[in-house]
Structures are given as structure tokens and as C-alpha cells.
Amino acid sequence: MAESNFIDYVKIFFKSGNGGAGSHHYHRSKGNPKGGPDGGDGGKGGDIILRGNKQLWTLIHLKFRKHIFADHGNPGGESHSTGKSGQNIYLDVPLGTVAKDFETKEFIGEITDEGEELTLLSGGKGGLGNSKFKTSTNQAPKYAQPGESGIEQTLILELKVLADVGLVGFPNAGKSTLLSVVSAAKPEIANYPFTTLVPNLGVIPYRDYRSFVMADIPGIIEGAHEGKGLGHRFLRHIERNSVLLFLIPADSDDHLKEYQILVNELEKFNPELLTKEHMISISKSDMLDDELKDAIANEFSVPVHFFSSVAQQGLQELKDKLWNILQE
């Protein structure tokens, strides 16, 4: 997925449709020249609705749509006829799309399932026709309701990648290499920081034709929670992963410190991230002998898993452990 095509944030001004006005009409005919009120109700204004589409992976199709307006309802007519409702606008979005108010940042809702719908703004109700105001003491009401106005609001749509397992690590921790080896994904791989600039998803085949989804997300750096590096753009994608797999490279100068920095960045961005199930792994472990592995393992108070993507070591055991965590 090219970086220029991966859009995970858009700001759009929306306006739902106005309701149509109720009709102020009286029935007139040769046989009944002074008939009663028969004005119909106005039609409802169009809604603006998000709809989940699992075929989409980005918000690029909304990048240049800065203003979106739904249709207005039509006015009511004679003979109690109701005006036509304004057409709803449906916006297909990737699974994992979150809607927020631009001004207040208030959470409005999210789309997580195929075909799921979320009404962002409801259209105005149509006004009642004068026939609805007829009473025993007012046989010929001269009043009909105007339609309700639609709602105007500037909203943010953000995409948070949905995956079973999210890879967490510094640039060059080996995340892209791991994903390329255990799945059919082809992320860009090179020996310099921030090779991965957009999330990459890979389906990991498992035993008995089962599978799970792994996300290679841009590398974290110290200060990411303040927006440094790829900052918030990276961190919000971590929020939607079920399990976090911390990758610490075997050639790190300080394995425990690197892990603690990663944990600290997640905690400062969103403390709830630390409540997720997680696993610590040491990548590039083909360069380690048993003595060095024991020394690294002793730095941590919890078990760590050693693997090498290039040497194909420990990969099946890694998938087994991740699968077991996911099933729990």
C-alpha cells in the first residue's frame, strides 16, 4: 500500500437535509367548493450515514470531499400527500473508522463490522400539513408547520487499523521482516529508520487452515506520545489491536530499557493500552548463543520469546503462543 494512497484522517463539513414544509391547502371541487384542509406533511430531510466496507483499507476516497450535503425533503402536497423524503447519503468506510466532533473531539461512534451503519447526522423532520391541526373548534386551520432544519457539523473521520496482533517496536526492530516471512504481505524493508511509513496488514496462516491478522505498524520512538516521529498517527493504530507483540532486536544496546521506553510511550498516549494482552519477543536471535539468550531473558521479570525471521527460527512457536493468547 503506497504511502500517498494511505489516508487515515479526514476532516469534512457535513449538513443533513432540511425537512420539507407542511402544505397549507384546502380541498376544492365543484361538489365541495369549501372543503376542509387537506395539506400533507413535508418529507424528511436526508441523513448522512457511515457504512462499513471490508474491501476498503483507507479513507483516500474522502480526501478531497471537504463538504457533504444531504438532500432536502420535499414540501407536502394536496389531498394529504406527503412530500418525498430527501435521499440519504451513505459513505462507505474501512472497518476501524472512528467519527469525532472536530471542535470538541467528542467521540460519536465507530464502524467495526461489514455493513454496519452509523448515522452521523439525522435529517430534519418534515412539517405537518394543515390537515393535522383541524379540531372541532377550528375546522379550517390556516397554519402548517415548516420543516425542521438539517444539522451542520464538522467531523473528523479517523482510521484505526483492525488486527488481531499489532507489532510494537523501534524502527529497525524487524517488524516488517517478520510480517513478510510469516504472511504473504510485502512491506518495504531496508536498513534505515521509518522504512514503514504506513500500516501493513498480513494474514498469518495457522494450523488446520486457521489464520489471524497481524499489523506491521510504523516504528515508535521516544517522545511519540507528544507527536514526535510519526507520533499520534502511529499510536492510534495500536488501539484497535487485540494483542500487542513487543519486538526488541537482539543487537539492542539495552533490551530492558528499550522495552520500558515502548511501554512508557503507550502509557502516556493511552493507559488502557497496557491492559491489552501482550508478549515480549527478541528478534534477530540467530546472532545469539544460549548463554546470551539466558542473560537477556534474566533481564525481564516475564518470559520472553526468541526468534529469527531470516533464519526461520522460533517462528512456529511464536505463532503458537500468539494463537493461544488470542483464544484466551
Q: What is the CATH number of the domain that holds 321?
A: 3.40.50.300
Alpha helices in 148-193 (DSSP H): 175-182
Burial 87-96 (b: 16+ CB within 10 A, else e): ebbebebbbb
Residue 254 C-alpha cell reads as 539495552
Give the pLDDT score at 191: 47
Low-confidence ranges of the chain (pLDDT < 50): 1-3, 187-196, 223-231
Give the pLDDT score at 124: 97
Give the pLDDT score at 28: 79
Give the pLDDT score at 203: 82
3-state helix, strand, coil in the chain (%, to 5): 25, 25, 50
Rounded distance, CA 167 to CA 175, Å? Answer: 6
Q: Which of 139, 159, 179 is the C-terminal boundary of a domain?
A: 159
Give the pLDDT score at 157: 96
Residue 66 C-alpha cell reads as 471537504
Helix (H) or strand (E) holding 268: helix 255-269
Angle at Cα 238 formed by Cα 212 and Cα 183, nearest 5°?
30
Give the pLDDT score at 224: 44
Same domain, 53 and 175: no
Give the pLDDT score at 328: 80
Same domain, 168 and 299: yes
Same domain, 270 and 284: yes
Same domain, 47 and 121: yes
Same domain, 11 and 154: yes
Give the pLDDT score at 285: 94
Strand-pair partners of 100: 107, 156
Same domain, 180 and 258: yes
**β-pairing verdict for 67-69 and 9-15:** parallel
Same domain, 124 and 181: no
Same domain, 233 and 291: yes
Same domain, 176 and 236: yes
User: Does pTM surpass 0.85?
Assistant: no
Write out the residue range of the structural domain in which residue 44 sits.
1-159
Q: Which of 159, 186, 204 is the C-terminal boundary of a domain?
A: 159
Give the pLDDT score at 148: 96
**β-pairing verdict for 97-101 and 241-249:** unpaired
Question: How many structural domains compose the chain?
Answer: 2
CA 197 to the chain's CA centroid: 18
Residue 146 C-alpha cell reads as 415548516
Same domain, 41 and 145: yes
Give the pLDDT score at 219: 58
Q: Kindly report the CATH number assigned to the domain that includes residue 138.
A: 2.70.210.12
Same domain, 6 and 152: yes
Burial of 216 by CB count in 10 Å (0-12 exposed, 13-18 middle, 19+ buried)?
buried
